[in-house]
Amino acid sequence: MSRRSRSRLATLPAACALGALLFACGGGAPAPANVILVTLDTTRPDYLGTYGARVPTPAFDRIADEGARFEMAISASAVTPVSHATILTGKYPYTHGLRVSSAHGGFRLPRSQKTLAQTLKARGYSTGAVHSAFPVSGYFGFDRDFDRFESFDGARMREDGSTEWDVGELQRRSDETTDIALAMLAELREPFFLWIHYWDPHDPDVLPPPEYLADVPRATTPGGPHPHDELYAAEVRYLDAQFGRLLDGLDAHGLAQRTHVTVTADHGQGLSDGLARHGWALHRMVYQEQIRVPLLMRGPGIAAGVRVPDLVRTADIVPTLLDYLGFEPAEAYDGTTLRGLVEGGAEEPRSAYADQINDYDMNAAMKEQRPDAKFLYCVMDREWKLIYRPHMPAQSELFHLAEDPGEERDLFAERPDVAERLLQQLAERRPWVLAPFEPDAEGYEDIRAMLESLHYTGSDLGDNVWAWTCPRHPDFRTSDDLRRHAECGAALVPVLERP
């Protein structure tokens, strides 16, 4: 194993051979299916062939052809730890409690939150995880209930006793990740849960082999030697090739027919079209190019070639997998199973939620360029989308996605009826973060430095003062107003206190 691949590993339980024989020999209920969850960092659906990319991505396209493709899947956040917490828990950030990537608190999944790993481990699954970058490491609380957790969460001590993070160990390319995943696949006993995280499209620091860059035009840009869009596409294609090796490994081990494979992303990326439309080429915003993600599912019980046009959420992944495995929900989820949609049933339309608490995040320096992004709360249905800015509510945005999928025409002022309806839905969720996070762990300064090395830029915490009002009564400002508010029965919505 290379130097970059080293990490702290938990030991597989000793139980395994007898358990595997019992599962294989029959005489009881059939063994539950295995589960592989693949999360692609910073990956937009429109760069996969199955979603219409110019160049095919054969491995990802294969999962779509052999299973279900969800056309409109929405992430809960456009920052890696927050969005992964939703994928793993089936809950939104205001429920699971991981709200930022770096702060005095609020950056770690609370131990009270149950993940898919914990739920499956309690049902006899062996569990493993292979990660490609620090932002999904054990520091953020993701390592619990894994028998083996291959990740970037080690530190070494300087002679003076302080902690130094080894920047050279912070990310690995997808070929290394796949090598480790294939080795782990051979070790995990069935049934197993394996989570694989790939990082390649996030940044240009670790590039694909030269043959993947042959068609990338050379140019001088602030971000590096290649235009970002073309380099991003090359990284996605290389990632697809490595994912294809994983699928080949499943086939070689005879596991494909009894394994659920789910592919999604934590968030997208603005790229050049996001820059042109919304003035932002990266993530940490909540426009569609940042929060619409791929979602592909293949496995026992899922018919081939299913296409689901309905709005779905990454919060739906956990309850969907438990449904297909035949397990009762382990607890209450914000997401709901997608099985009915996959099987063609009629359901009540879903709404989706996303947020960015950038002003209370130490690694969100982008707010200096985009003060309108300090606080972003988003709620949407299949037709309409609201981006609410409580610190500058007049700059909130409303888009009619059914007619304007590129979010180019803001209707917030023109359609107050729709804006109020969505504001009411937003307020009912009670998602607000009203003050900087209180310290809940040591070492956050080290984490801040580590994130900066991965191009997450540092920033100071905001000192916003909040008050409460409601969309029907924007003049409510005092405690007396709040008492009157209870009588009117309208939902609460926060706005930044104004003179």
Please give the pLDDT value at position 176.
94
What's the whole-model pTM score? 0.84
Please give the pLDDT value at position 470.
53
Q: Examine the pLDDT at 93 and tell me if it is beyond 90.
A: yes
Integer Rg of the chain from CA:
23
> Average pLDDT of 162-185?
77
Cα separation, 288 vs 465, in Å, equals 29
Q: Examine the pLDDT at 487 and tell me if it is beyond 90.
A: no
Q: What is the DSSP string of 145-159?
A: T-SEEE-S---EE-T
Please give the pLDDT value at position 116.
98
Choose between 434 and 36: higher pLDDT: 36
Domains defined for the chain, CATH in brackets: 3-350 (3.40.720.10), 355-496 (3.30.1120.10)
Residue 324 CB neighbour total at 10 angstroms: 22
Percent of the chain with pLDDT strictly greater than 70: 76
Please give the pLDDT value at position 169.
60
> Average pLDDT of 324-348?
94
Percent of the chain with pLDDT strictly greater than 90: 60
Q: Do β-strands 163-164 and 156-157 pair in parallel, antiparallel, or remain unpaired?
A: antiparallel
Please give the pLDDT value at position 227.
55
What amino acid is encoded at 424 in this protein? Q
Per DSSP, the three-state class of 429 is: coil
Cα separation, 224 vs 219, in Å, equals 8
**Which of 124, 126, 147, 127 lies closest to 29, judged by CA?**
124
Element (H, E) at 448: helix 444-453
Cα separation, 448 vs 443, in Å, equals 9
Please give the pLDDT value at position 50.
98
Share the mean pLDDT of the chain. Answer: 82
CA-CA-CA-CA torsion sign (6, 12, 145, 331) = positive
Q: Examine the pLDDT at 112 and tell me if it is beyond 50.
A: yes
Looking at beta carbons, which pairs linking 358-361 to residues 24 or more positions away fall under 8 Å? Answer: 358/284, 359/391, 359/461, 359/462, 359/464, 360/99, 360/100, 360/103, 360/106, 360/433, 360/435, 360/436, 360/437, 360/461, 360/462, 361/79, 361/100, 361/101, 361/102, 361/103, 361/459
Q: How confident is the model at residue 302 (pLDDT cuts 50, 70, 90)?
A: very high
Q: Quick one: tokens of 95?
A: 């429920």
> Average pLDDT of 263-288?
94
Choose between 107 and 480: higher pLDDT: 107
Cα separation, 298 vs 14, in Å, equals 30
**Cβ atoms 105, 440 nearer than 8 A:** yes
Choose between 5 and 413: higher pLDDT: 413
Omega before residue 405 within 30° of 0, cis: no
Please give the pLDDT value at position 61.
98
Please give the pLDDT value at position 327.
96
Model pLDDT for residues 430-464, shown as the tens digit of each residue? 888 878 888 764 444 455 554 455 444 455 555 55
**Cβ atoms 286, 376 nearer than 8 A:** yes
> Average pLDDT of 136-164?
71
Q: Examine the pLDDT at 362 and tell me if it is beyond 70.
A: yes
Model pLDDT for residues 366-418, shown as the tens digit of each residue? 888 999 999 999 999 999 999 999 888 889 999 999 999 999 999 999 998 89
- Classify burial at 399, counting beta carbons within 10 Å of its beta carbon; exposed 0-12, middle 13-18, buried 19 or more: buried
Q: What is the DSSP string of 2-70?
A: -GGG----PPPPTTHHHHHHHHHH-SSSPPPPEEEEEEETT--GGGSGGGT-SS--HHHHHHHHHSEEE
Q: What is the DSSP string of 302-345?
A: --TTEEEEEEEEGGGHHHHHHHHHTPPPSS--SS---HHHHTT-
Model pLDDT for residues 202-237, shown as the tens digit of each residue? 887 788 999 998 877 654 444 444 458 999 999 999
